[in-house]
Structure 1
Amino acid sequence: MIESLLVANRGEIARRIIRTAKRLGVRAVAVHSEADADLPFVVEADEAVCVGPANPAQSYRNVEAILAAAEATGAQAIHPGYGFLSENADFARTVQARGLVWVGPGADAITAMGDKINARNLMAAAGVPVAPGTTEPATDLDAAVAAATGIGYPVMVKAAAGGGGMGMAVAADEAALRTEYDKVRAFAERMFGDGSVLIERYFPRVRHVEVQILGLADGRVVALGERECSVQRRNQKLVEESPSPAVSPELRARFLAAAVRAGEAVGYRNAGTVECLLDPATQEFFFLEMNTRLQVEHPVTELVYGVDLVEEQLRVAAGLPPTFDPDALTPRGHAIELRINAEDPKRFLPGPGVIGTWVEPTGEGVRVDSGYVAGNTVTPFYDSLLAKLVVAGADRAEAIERARTAVAGFAVAGPKNNLPFFAELLDNEEFVSGDYDTGIVGRMR
């Protein structure tokens, strides 16, 4: 096993990785910005290094500062968490070139999946279903209009290098496409340094279902079930659950087989997620993207399968076998994750501030992965995620009931937060029925 690990991230995911590292006897090193010096992940690490000011470009995305911290602390490996540098193939290559262990997939897999058009084409060649769309970038507006005409409206206009729900817009007709194309292209150039645009069929009523995969050290790729991620705002997830209430055993078998083929197509190692769109009317699903990292919502899979995915990541990176039998994976019960964000519960606009009260719920089946405690300041420099409230039960009904109790018992004062939204959602008939789609939040508002 790896002896020392530098966590190149912040907040709840850094704290969560550190927790597993310390349980395994692995020395945990944190890097942090000046703005995060007092956060729990810094305090709980065995050693911590400040890598720059609040601006992520000067701290959490500062490759040389992070590598210098690894050298100064004698860290053997680097775990990138999610976001920041986690899907940066050049960073992965540089880490390994410096003689460090990279806790993630190979740089070639990151590169292959980092461009949505290239990823679509690779998946289609591997027999993974893909939605109708362009096989090369729409280089100008005329090309985008021609592509959309062939695909049929409405279409989704996407940044080919984007991710996490960013750089996407829906065009119902040519007039809308002419407006949205330039916006998406400009956003993509500004955010990702790549203005390539993909045009893809848009499905008005669709569910977002993803499969957790793990590429093992011996070369096998295994799937650890699916997660439902259809409760979203601005194409970004708010709630995830496993198993999906929309997926039958027969459909599940097809989902998992396709995800394994996707991983095998790029020689995948370590943890990753194959994201798909599911048409509930036809039971057809289509490849959306592959996230070449640990997902925010990994805890629901952990609770259903009884595994620690961070531990499995470390074992793969160290060339060790998994703690479980890949041929005997058995899911149990149901788990739901609620993303507690520092944002207005009505319009979902960020609301940073000083945390005056922070009381986490407890009880059977309740887990809280948090990044803050009372007295901490939620700054505007980073993602608004405060904590992940995860609940598990013998079935979906029990998980929902436990989630209601946990939300009522989660006390946060200071920054705005979306706990009131979750109280509303957990009593929403559409959500409780399990028959919902990605438009549910809009219908609630």
Structure 2
Amino acid sequence: MRNPPFRCFRDLSNEHGPLIHLKLGECNAIVVSSPEMARKVLKDLDPSFAGRVQNVASRIMWYDGSDIAFSPYGDYWRQMRKLCINDLLSPKMVRLFQSIREDESSRLVNSLRESSGSSVNFSEKLFSYSSSITCRAAFGGACNDSETLIKMMVDSMKMVGGFEMADLFPSSAIIGALSWRKTRLMKRMRSELDGILDDIIDQHRRKRAESSGRKLGNSEFGGEDLVDVFLRAMEEEELKFPIDNHNIKAVLFDVFTAGTDTSAAAIDWTMVELMRNPRVMAKVQAEVRQAMEQNNEAINNLKYLKLVIKETLRLHPPAPMLPRACNEEHVIEGYTIPAGSMVMVNIWAMQRDPEHWENPERFEPERFESEDLNFVGGDFKYLPFGFGRRMCPGLTFGLASAESALVQLLYNFDWKLPESVRPEDLDMAENVGITATRKQNLSVIVTPYK
């Protein structure tokens, strides 16, 4: 495929309908492209479609699917997801991390200020911003190997979201052998990843041993971080499914990739759309600057900025296709869905469907003034974070990180593109991967506002 799969599948759906059965090698693939069909899969039959199809990349880089994102639906998945939500992703914990977001937003502003007047790779700075927040919240401090982790994350997300021949013909040892180069590359990456994550876990073990029964505090905010929570769970041996370093590393890489990639992509796409739409840029900057010069209540009530973020996530959802697996045969609208099928809900196509959106390709935040839509799936034509049991658990964490950065960026700087680039010439192509990051990095020139 020359284009990302979600674009190709949108074109097929326009021709053949909202429920398509594709035979990809030995695999049955079902593509869902309408809100009505999505409701049946994600709500009416959610337990039957809550599984995940494993591939070579997820087995190697995510520890045989012992993480959360690629783990089979069941009690183990519930256990690990609950630990993450309670101790990292709950609204209470996200509020507790506000000081981290403010500090990293300030660092991002200072870094851009040092480069004011010259072209700067804005996208790279966003990865650094979002990875620092994730590391400090989940690991209890900055990670010395964050740049290496970012590169692994980018490469892994591309590999896990593609269609490898070995995944499409799983019974063929010959075809599997043809993918040896990529498999060897991933195993090398996994070995390097093991070393980094083992170091993080060992540092926490030493800290726990040195505490000698005293209350263990995270240097960032006074409580246990996620690594401490997992180590305590191992020590107390009260979990239904005992865990070891293998499980912890799977979830830590999960958290790092999800917390870094999606937040950075959301901010990046937002700024790209604002650069292409100067009317919207002027309006949202005026709102932010007026609020910043008033009080905290005004800052927490930035209505137009929230509309801008909603519209960005409509056009550029973090995961354009929701991957599911059907664990038993079902009949939907007269069509049989075989057990074991790979099911892909194309929310990218649904959120640009002219049957449900006026001028769907146009960036118009005002459309949400009359559309009572939220991020948790009140209407199935808008599902930027998914729906049901597999809905993104980091929704609140990611939105808070994105909004914190955007407030500071829009307040502190005026923005323009390098002289040789016109807004209408910005490349809007996406990378092929499980997340729809922008293929080209965004280079900008910033001028301090005050």
TM-score tier by shorter-chain length is under 0.3
Which protein has the bigger strand share? 1
Which protein has the bigger helix share? 2
Q: Given the two structures, how large is their TM-score scaled by the length of structure 1? A: 0.25
Q: Given the two structures, how large is their TM-score scaled by the length of structure 2? A: 0.25
Structure showing greater radius of gyration is 2
Answer 1 or 2: higher relative contact order, Cα 8 Å, separation at least 6. Answer: 2
